[in-house]
Amino acid sequence: MNLFRTLPRDALASVVVFLVALPLCMGIAIASGMPPAKGLITGIIGGLVVGFIAGAPLQVSGPAAGLAVLVFELVRTHGMTALGPVLLLAGLIQLVAGTLRLGGWFRVTAPAVVYGMLAGIGILIVLSQVHVMLDAAPKASGLDNLLAFPGAVRDALRLLGSNAMIAGAIGLGTIVSIWLWERFRPAPLRFLPGALVGVMLATLASLWLTLPVKRVELPANLGDAIDWITPQGLASLADPQLLIAALALAFIASAETLLSAAAVDRMHDGPRARFNRELSAQGIGNILCGAVGALPMTGVIVRSSANVQAGARGRASTILHGAWLLALVALLPGVLQSIPVASLGAVLVYTGCKLVDPKAMRNLGQYGRAPVFIYAATALCIVFTDLLTGVLVGFALTLLKLVWSASHLRVKLVPTGPNSAELRMSGAATFLRVPQLAKLLASVEPGTRLHLSLARVSYIDHACMELLEDWGRSARAQGGGLEIVEGAALKRRVEGRQRTALA
């Protein structure tokens, strides 16, 4: 009943989502080293299948720019036939994780690592797609793309009116059109996404001027783009590298999906996302995508936010956007085959630049220099090595920061009178800081009465407490003493000891 009550608004919103998804599905496929039809198939499955069973009804699923780098590397190293088995296993991992109600654990990721991962992916997408904008093939790595770019531009400019130069002009025109539309679009046409406007203008200009540029290649029948998984493909999962790739894909896709679902929840007042169900739905979608050899899918924030802003109230919008994709590919493939590849590359360049969000770094800076360092290190490691290495480096740095924070202790001795002083401690007083604390206590003059407040101590363990008690007994024998005052912030049991004033 709810489905039909919200259908009119959902139908209008689905058209907006369809217009946003169309260029992105094809562009992300090209960025992944795959035919554009593969991205469209994933978008169709994300709408028609995952839309029915999703735990986040307003979230839109489809191919994501965040996985393009991982897929490109996998296809380049192991071939296109390896993607299906890897994706099927990744989807199975997601399905099992959702069934076991592990959805929350995929969200336990430090923001610095997430933003750094997105920034690194954005940089890699830009470095690869600037070559696509010149009708050239991207190189194997981000560093290779960076080093080869000056030569590619020089070659394009060397011959005035060359195909590469014309494609580059189409790509730049697309980026300028997107930027201008996003900045100045009239209110009555605000439902039209900038990416679609840019691609439409580039396509019309290229057709009107009959420009010799590469265009999207689609099979006459969408079924011809399906590569069913084979027993030989499943047997390839015995390769440890493919198993690692499946785990990485499952984790990154799940984290991106659930972080997106949490963000979508903050945009509307409707039903909240059920994260475990959403994770299971994504797993089913990726199993199907793996079975037909399509791109991996996630819940994607760009399409989801467009869905909410367009007024969607239920899951019908997501389902219908998949139906519109299927109808266009089935009935009007010639329209898509007119699109210049360079314009889709430009859409991805624009998208990649938006992934490198300066606001994220400024927000992280509010919590100190360590999160900013982790952000930068994660992004740079992804650019100069690979996605998995960069993410692992980010996690390792986060754990090191956690260990440092858990064991860091500041101590200072401040004289307050002729025979009295205050011992100021802040941080975590663990056994790792016993030598530091013992050295400071040894410098206290005999007969001094020492006052210690634990208000700024987040944790104190048995080793440190025993050291303080031993020193207090020795000081009392020499005419001094130690007074320990608990702070309201420290409401913990001190490992079996009652903390009392020592006089």
161-180: pLDDT as tens digits:
678 889 999 999 999 999 99
Q: How far apart are CA 415 and CA 423, in angstroms?
A: 9
By DSSP bridging, strand 298-300 and strand 409-417 are unpaired
pLDDT of res. 489: 39
Residues 28-48 pLDDT 10s: 999 899 999 999 999 999 999
pLDDT of res. 500: 38
Helices 369-384 and 387-407, packing angle to 10 deg? 160
Three-state DSSP class for residue 53: helix
pLDDT of res. 494: 35
DSSP 362-393: HHHHTT-HHHHHHHHHHHHHHHHS-HHHHHHH
pLDDT of res. 53: 95
Domains of the chain in sequence order: 2-401 (no CATH), 408-485 (3.30.750.24)
Q: How far apart are CA 183 and CA 187, in angstroms?
A: 11
Burial bucket for residue 384 (CB in 10 Å: 0-12, 13-18, 19+): middle
Residues 272-299 pLDDT 10s: 899 999 999 999 999 999 999 999 999 9
Among the listed residues 287, 296, 229, the one whose alpha carbon sits nearest the alpha carbon of residue 82: 229
Report the 10 Å Cβ neighbour count for 332. Answer: 10
Positions in the chain whose pLDDT score sits under 50: 1, 488-503
* Mean pLDDT, all residues of the chain: 87
Amino acid of residue 82: A
**Inter-CA distances, 89 with 2, 213, 215, 282, 376, Å:** 35, 38, 33, 12, 31
pLDDT of res. 461: 85
